[in-house]
Amino acid sequence: MTFDNFSQKSNVDLTPISNVYCGKAIWPHNEEGLENLARYIIRASFSQERMTYVAGQDSSDGIAKVVYKSKDGKRSKKFEALGKQKVYTFDKIER
């Protein structure tokens, strides 16, 4: 199947986009390639090692927070925690 045929049959616009991905195309039958792409898409865009959870009872204002430190450790940003959240990891995808 050619690139044009795939685009027409799948109703997907495969117009090349500049500076997005310069490797080989990942076709629908390439399960390993699709799995690697999925892992890349769902990976965290921030470091869990630089996050600290502060429980409400340990906070001066009684509100739970998450503190995120910059890579160089010189800056930090506080975010109000939304409550206890279940943590999901994607180390292995079950089939």
pLDDT for the residue numbered 48: 86
The DSSP 8-state label assigned to residue 39 in this structure reads H
| Angle at 35 (CA atoms; ends 47, 45), nearest 5 degrees | 15
Write the CB contacts of 3 (distance below 8 Å, at least 6 apart in sequence). Answer: 14, 25
pLDDT for the residue numbered 7: 47
Write the CB contacts of 63 (distance below 8 Å, at least 6 apart in sequence). Answer: 56, 80, 81
For the chain, which residues make up each domain, given as ranges?
3-42, 46-95
| pLDDT tens track, the chain, 95 positions | 455 555 455 555 555 555 556 678 888 899 998 898 888 888 877 888 899 999 888 988 888 899 999 989 899 999 988 755 545 455 555 55
Report in angstroms the alpha-carbon separations of 50 from 40, 54, 65, 68. Answer: 20, 13, 14, 6
Sign of the four-CA dihedral 39, 41, 43, 47:
positive
What pTM was computed for the model?
A: 0.43
Instruction: Report whether 37 contacts 21 (CB < 8 A).
Output: no
